[in-house]
Structure 1
Amino acid sequence: MKTLIIGGGVVGYNIASRLVEEGHDVTVVDDDPQALERIDSHLDVSIIRGFGSRPDVLAQADVKAVEMIVAVTNSDEVNMVACMNAGLMSQTPVVKVARVRDPSYTDDQFLEDETYGIDLMLNPEQVTADRILNLLRYPGITDVSDFADGQVKLIGIRITPTSPFSGLRLMELRERFPDAGFIVGAVVRSGDVLIPRGETVILPGDEVYLVTAIEDVDEALGSAGLVTNPVRRVMILGGGRIAEFLALGLEARGIKPKIIEPNRDRAVALADRLPDTTVIHGSPTDADLLMEENAGEMQAVVICSASEETNLMAALLAHQMGPSRIIAITNVVEYRSLIKTVGIDACLSPRLIAVSSILRFIRKGRVVAVQALGDGDAAEVLEFEAQLSSEAVGRELRELRVPRGALIAAIVRNETVLIPRGATVIEEADHIVVLAQKEAVGSISQLLRSQEAGA
């Protein structure tokens, strides 16, 4: 597929990298020469320097032959105009995706207007807030993702020395919980992702990913020794858009959060828009203020200011005060590693969440890469729809040449979630959830894809 990406920052780079691996013909447009130099040095793509919304630049990128445009610059207006101009200039139907942060642009009256003609408007702050809300729904987890329209959950948990899973081999885990509706899909250990086998031992400090049906989540977490008491006391440090979306979501659940925001005008605006939220004008790194507002007694503290350094310092302060759970936001890879080492429960990157959301949309109907696992995208989670021409259809799993480093973790058939066994037979139209190390993604994709589509 011929794909045009407008914007060569972190989001554009990561999308281009994934699409190149899948055989797309990719062109990246950006007006920043340093961004283009990095892309040209590492990726097999065409690059064009210029403003991606301008018709002459789009013409230089051969937009008339493009099948898909993904506009992910830091400007909402550039992204929207680039998509609209591409639609006007293309000689064939083109799929248009735009990163749009301003909520006023994503109002229903605009989304339904054919003048825009944009297939997906993605707000990174909104999808990040949704991810946090999902994490807060299940106390004690480090990560959560949905598959098969929410029927399957991938849940990350941290193994403590007292965990029922600690010290068990996977085969022993199956013996101890024979009727549990979950499977261990991956183990993250010191940043490395292991796709476990029967002899794999679960150790304290591991981050273990469980795959389970949505109706079996509580049972799976109970087996792991986690109590699923609902979160009611939440403090949010930083009052940006993520905080506002998050507070709105919490209010909708009947929760009354606290927000600490350093900018007085922003704090007043939030207080006007959030009737059930207590908004406090102050610094997220003011230890006295955090103690006064009982940060240590919170069931969850979410750190999401606009400053990376503030988030890092606030995470360290909050950890010392001992709330039940801390969730931090950062787009700096080095900070993510540092924050995890001090005991923060979950660390999210809005940019990488945006990448996953866009890839989910782009790949819809073929293969969905929901998220990367571990540092450096060491592994991926994918969802396939089995087609009749696939060599896997009609065969038992034990007959398939599933590559080492890959695991078929769940099958969704007619809205029923199956935790597969060796005798499970894949049928046409099944949705198959797979966890795979990066080097195994190509082989498992070839096994499960349509033979007509090729590898």
Structure 2
Amino acid sequence: MRVIVIGAGEVGSSIADNLSGSHEVVVIDIDTERAESLTYELDVLSLAGDGTDIDVLEEAGVESADIVIASTDDDETNVVACGTAKAVSDAFTIARVKRPKYLRTWQRSEQAFNVDFMICTDLLTANAIVGVIGFPTAQDVDMFASGAVQMTEFKIPGDSPVANQTVAEADCFEELTFAAIIREDDIVIPTGQTRIEPGDEVVVIGNPESARAFSAAIAPRRNGPKDIVIVGGSEIGYQVARLLEERGFSPRLIERDADRARWIAEHLDDTLVLESDATDRDFLARERVGEADALVAALENDQQNLLATLLAKRIGTDRAVAVVDTADFADLFEAVGVDVAISPREVTAEEIIRFTHSQRTENVSMIEGDRAEVIEVEVDADSVLAGERISDAAARLPNVVFGAITRNGEFITPRGDTVVEPGDHVILFAETETVEEVADLV
């Protein structure tokens, strides 16, 4: 597959890096030095130029491209680049935008802007934040099979009842599969005798109710959040509050700018908007932010978000989630005390990459910075899985975990004697280096 990526920032570079091993990738960036550096860093062809310029696109071979991904930091540039690519090719076009207004227009008519698929970074990030807030020790949450299946990555605290249990002892849930254990630099495919150690990150796949029950087993004294504080009225902060309202929460939102605070208050009925500086300790004490169940830092830069979350943790806030624009900082944030660091760029790259897998791949979730993936595949009659028992299929697909199956919307827990049928949606866990091969086979 020939893929053209426009924009070599963190999102574009991450996408190019992920695809370069199995696809022909061309990266276009207006910055000559950045474009040239990619040639040495990644196995891609790089081109310095304007991705909205038809001559540049033709030099990149757009006429033979299968996919064009516009992922610069400018919404208008991405939309125009996709339209230009469509004018001279049949490539599938994907535009990354930050502001939801373009997404709303595109959703009215999916032919708008000549964009085949549009991804809104801020809305994706807000959904990721709201997903992890509901689970006290969750590091990542993704939904599959139209919400019937959930992948959750839990970090096991040292004082958890689950710590030091074997998988067989911890697995008390009929509709849950323990897919992997991430232990420092290792990914362990667990057996019943694998022991869960403090600090492990456990990846489970199952129905949402079972995932919630396992969360309660990990931290039985920590209920779901009731009091949620959002720091920063950025677009991400606003979208988090809006999504929380849709789920029945009444969050508090702290915004320093008077005009922005007023606008948010006028547009959110069940959110209490407080105009103040979130680093003012006297204000935080008066508003009892330290008693909040969760705090989300969605300010304009990483330094402010780190300061806000660490200050909240110091005064007693139970759980702190920070938005991290620089993806490489995410591990640092979590190392110094932030419970979860969410990178908008990683969330966006994950959503885009699923379009480059096999046509049968419906959804993708990247684990641990793209070391492993959970994929959803719709099985057709030509698949090696069709008519096969799970035990036989697993022998042909080593190091692949069958996490869940849905059939006609019904959840099925995969067991060794379960027979896969055409039309089934199968959710699999695999290390990234084997995902393409697995997706092509199944």
Residues 364/116 of structure 1: CA separation in 2 closer, same or farther (3 Å cut): farther
Please report how far the alpha carbon of residue 255 of structure 1 lies from its aligned counterpart in structure 2 after TM superposition.
2.5
Question: Does structure 1 conserve the Cα–Cα contact (< 8 Å) formed by 2:362 and 2:378?
Answer: no
Question: Does structure 2 conserve the Cα–Cα contact (< 8 Å) formed by 1:185 and 1:196?
Answer: yes
Question: Does structure 2 conserve the Cα–Cα contact (< 8 Å) formed by 1:160 and 1:205?
Answer: yes
One-letter code aligned to 1:52: G
Match of 1:291 among 285, 300, 306: 285
Q: Which residue of 1 aligns with 2:16?
A: 16
Question: Does structure 2 conserve the Cα–Cα contact (< 8 Å) formed by 1:359 and 1:369?
Answer: no
One-letter code aligned to 1:377: D
After the TM superposition, which residues 94-109 of structure 1 pair with which residues of structure 2 at under 5 Å, given as runs?
Answer: 94-108=91-105
2:191 and 2:294 map into 1 onto residues whose CA distance is: 34
Q: Secondary structure at the match of 1:3?
A: strand
One-letter code aligned to 1:143: D
Please report how far the alpha carbon of residue 330 of structure 1 lies from its aligned counterpart in structure 2 after TM superposition.
0.5
Find out whether 1:166 has 2:163 as its counterpart: yes
Q: Secondary structure at the match of 2:196?
A: coil
After the TM superposition, which residues 32-431 of structure 1 pair with which residues of structure 2 at under 5 Å, given as runs?
Answer: 32-90=31-89, 93-108=90-105, 111-112=108-109, 114-174=111-171, 177=172, 180-226=174-220, 229-363=223-357, 365-368=359-362, 370-374=364-368, 376-400=369-393, 401-402=395-396, 404-431=398-425
One-letter code aligned to 1:416: E
Please report how far the alpha carbon of residue 196 of structure 1 lies from its aligned counterpart in structure 2 after TM superposition.
1.8
1:116 and 1:7 map into 2 onto residues whose CA distance is: 19
Please report how far the alpha carbon of residue 221 of structure 1 lies from its aligned counterpart in structure 2 after TM superposition.
3.1
Please report how far the alpha carbon of residue 365 of structure 1 lies from its aligned counterpart in structure 2 after TM superposition.
3.7
One-letter code aligned to 2:378: E
Q: Secondary structure at the match of 1:160?
A: coil
Matched length: 441
Question: Does structure 1 conserve the Cα–Cα contact (< 8 Å) formed by 2:324 and 2:342?
Answer: yes
Please report how far the alpha carbon of residue 113 of structure 1 lies from its aligned counterpart in structure 2 after TM superposition.
6.9
One-letter code aligned to 2:212: D
1:110 and 1:398 map into 2 onto residues whose CA distance is: 42
- After superposition, what is the alpha-carbon deviation per residue over 1:113-137, rounded to whole angstroms, capped at 9, x for unaligned? 7452212221101111111222234
Give identity over the alignment, percent: 33
Residues 426/275 of structure 1: CA separation in 2 closer, same or farther (3 Å cut): closer
Q: Secondary structure at the match of 1:370?
A: strand
Question: Does structure 2 conserve the Cα–Cα contact (< 8 Å) formed by 1:6 and 1:69?
Answer: yes
1:163 and 1:32 map into 2 onto residues whose CA distance is: 49
Question: Does structure 1 conserve the Cα–Cα contact (< 8 Å) formed by 2:105 and 2:112?
Answer: no
Question: Does structure 2 conserve the Cα–Cα contact (< 8 Å) formed by 1:312 and 1:335?
Answer: no
Q: Which residue of 2 aligns with 1:453?
A: none
Residues 320/96 of structure 1: CA separation in 2 closer, same or farther (3 Å cut): same
1:442 and 1:61 map into 2 onto residues whose CA distance is: 24
Q: Secondary structure at the match of 2:270?
A: coil
| Root mean square deviation of aligned Cα | 2.4
The range that moved more, 10-19 or 35-44, is: 35-44
1:288 and 1:234 map into 2 onto residues whose CA distance is: 19
Q: Secondary structure at the match of 2:114?
A: coil
Q: Which of structure 1's runs of 4+ aligned residues deviate more than 6 A?
A: none
Question: Does structure 2 conserve the Cα–Cα contact (< 8 Å) formed by 1:29 and 1:48?
Answer: yes
2:64 and 2:139 map into 1 onto residues whose CA distance is: 43
Question: Does structure 1 conserve the Cα–Cα contact (< 8 Å) formed by 2:94 and 2:118?
Answer: yes
Please report how far the alpha carbon of residue 411 of structure 1 lies from its aligned counterpart in structure 2 after TM superposition.
1.9
Q: Secondary structure at the match of 1:107?
A: helix
Q: Secondary structure at the match of 1:40?
A: helix
The range that moved more, 299-308 or 203-212, is: 203-212
1:271 and 1:188 map into 2 onto residues whose CA distance is: 42
Please report how far the alpha carbon of residue 427 of structure 1 lies from its aligned counterpart in structure 2 after TM superposition.
2.2
Residues 275/394 of structure 1: CA separation in 2 closer, same or farther (3 Å cut): closer
One-letter code aligned to 1:166: A
Question: Does structure 1 conserve the Cα–Cα contact (< 8 Å) formed by 2:327 and 2:346?
Answer: no
Question: Does structure 1 conserve the Cα–Cα contact (< 8 Å) formed by 2:144 and 2:363?
Answer: no
1:226 and 1:427 map into 2 onto residues whose CA distance is: 38
Q: Which residue of 2 aligns with 1:452?
A: none
Q: Secondary structure at the match of 1:144?
A: strand
Question: Does structure 2 conserve the Cα–Cα contact (< 8 Å) formed by 1:404 and 1:440?
Answer: no
Please report how far the alpha carbon of residue 377 of structure 1 lies from its aligned counterpart in structure 2 after TM superposition.
2.3
1:438 and 1:88 map into 2 onto residues whose CA distance is: 34
Residues 180/221 of structure 1: CA separation in 2 closer, same or farther (3 Å cut): farther
Residues 307/281 of structure 1: CA separation in 2 closer, same or farther (3 Å cut): same
Q: Which residue of 1 aligns with 2:24?
A: 25
TM-score by length of 1: 0.89
1:302 and 1:166 map into 2 onto residues whose CA distance is: 27
Q: Secondary structure at the match of 2:3?
A: strand
Residues 184/88 of structure 1: CA separation in 2 closer, same or farther (3 Å cut): same
Question: Does structure 2 conserve the Cα–Cα contact (< 8 Å) formed by 1:143 and 1:157?
Answer: yes
